[in-house]
């Protein structure tokens, strides 16, 4: 979706001066950006550049040392996320937000079936009709191209790519408006990665999802992200439209990053 097609002037997420310090060391510092509904923003940088710290702060997993995070809620309009009570924050994370982790084992319940994994968020918000929960689970498994007859299998019997798709299904079941993804394609082989990316691109478009996508893989952001933040040692050194940043990098670090891609 291009800038001109944005549905409204109101950003979904407004980040200002977001910083996280671990004692004297910096996790991330002075990060500013707006995320609009339906927009995918990519955060790239090498290991240790503060990508995951930033994601944890944005998704309210970690309290930042400074800065503000304002989210445009469905019911109450823009609210400062860290002024919400813990109960409200946890509820937000279970309903209007999604969090896809790099390792699907961390984001899934490995001891219960795929159907129960997808249905968990529904039950958490009060769904109490088994038939309906199962029907919704079937729908989302189909959306993520998981065969219907795997609904009663445990995630441990799934391949890595399927586990990742199951984790995404589990997050999308409450129809969130904002999804945080931490290296969603990490650890998958390239053909599986390609399929997952195709699927993600379709879902993001169909569902009008806003996405914060953290990755070190520039190919992934090239395909999915509308805009990019390039991070180095906790600071955002460059940001802009994805094609612009990747094709005409201005900052020396970005230039180095872009030129490090192995040509096939």
Partner 1 sequence: MNTKAAGYNYAYLDEQTKRMIRRAILKAVAIPGYQVPFGSREMPMPYGWGTGGVQVTAALIGPLDVLKVIDQGADDTTNAVSIRKFFAAVAEVATTTATERATIVQTRHRIPETPLREGQILVLQVPIPEPLRWLEPREAETRKMHALEEYGAMHVSLYEDLARHGRIAKTYDYPVLVEGRYLMRPSPIPKFDNPKLDRSPALMLFGAGRERRIYALPPHTRVESLAFEDHPFEVETWEARCRLCGAEDSYLDEVIVDDAGGRMFVCSDTDYCNRRQAAQGKPNPEMLGGKA
3-state DSSP call for residue 216? coil
Min CB(115)–partner 1 separation in Å:
6
* Closer of 12 and 162 to partner 1 (Cβ): 162
Q: Is 189 helix (H, G, I), strand (E, B) or coil?
A: coil
Chain positions contacting partner 1, by CB under 8 A:
86-87, 90, 109, 112-113, 115-116, 119-121, 123-126, 128-131, 133-134, 151-152
Query: For residues 51 and 89, which CB has a smaller minimum distance to partner 1 in the complex?
Result: 89
Question: At its nearest, how many Å lie between partner 1 and the CB of residue 78?
Answer: 24
Q: How far is the CB of 116 from partner 1 (least distance, A)?
A: 5
Tell the smallest beta-carbon distance from residue 151 to partner 1 (Å). 8
Q: How far apart are CA 130 and CA 16, in angstroms?
A: 43
Nearer to partner 1, 120 or 217 (CB): 120
- The CA distance from 225 to 189, in Å, is 20
Residue 219: is it exposed, middle or buried by C-beta count within 10 angstroms (0-12/13-18/19+)?
middle
Report the phi/psi class of residue 15: left, alpha or beta, with left for phi > 0 and alpha for psi in -120 to 50: beta
How far apart are CB 227 and partner 1 at their closest, in Å? 35
Q: Which of 97/253 has CB closer to partner 1?
A: 97
113/244 with CB nearer partner 1: 113
DSSP lists the bridge partners of residue 14 as 34, 70
Cβ count within 10 A of residue 31: 25
């Amino acid at each position: 979706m291009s800038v001109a097609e944005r549905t409204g002037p109101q950003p979904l997420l407004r980040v200002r001066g977001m910083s996280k310090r671990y004692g004297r060391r910096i996790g991330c510092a002075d990060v500013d950006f707006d995320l609009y509904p339906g927009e995918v923003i990519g955060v790239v940088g090498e290991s240790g550049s503060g990508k995951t710290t930033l994601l944890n702060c944005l998704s309210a997993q970690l309290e930042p040392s400074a800065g503000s995070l304002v989210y445009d809620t469905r019911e109450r309009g823009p609210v400062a996320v860290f002024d919400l009570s813990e109960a409200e924050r946890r509820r937000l994370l279970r309903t209007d937000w999604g969090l896809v982790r790099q390792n699907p084992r961390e984001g899934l319940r490995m001891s219960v079936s795929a159907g129960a994994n997808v249905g968990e968020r529904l039950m958490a918000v009060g769904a109490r009709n088994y038939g309906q929960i199962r029907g919704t689970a079937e729908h989302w498994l189909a959306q993520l191209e998981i065969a219907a007859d795997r609904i009663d299998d445990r995630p441990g019997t799934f391949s890595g790519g399927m586990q990742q798709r199951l984790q995404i299904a589990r997050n999308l079941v409450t129809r969130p408006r904002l999804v945080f993804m931490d290296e969603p394609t990490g650890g998958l082989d390239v053909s599986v990665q390609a399929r997952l990316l195709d699927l993600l691109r379709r879902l993001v478009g169909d569902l009008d999802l806003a996405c914060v996508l953290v990755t070190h893989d520039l190919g992934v952001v090239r395909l999915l992200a509308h805009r990019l933040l390039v991070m180095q040692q906790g600071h955002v050194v460059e940001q802009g439209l994805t094609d612009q940043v990747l094709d005409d990098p201005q900052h020396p670090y970005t230039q180095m990053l872009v030129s490090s891609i192995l040509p096939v």
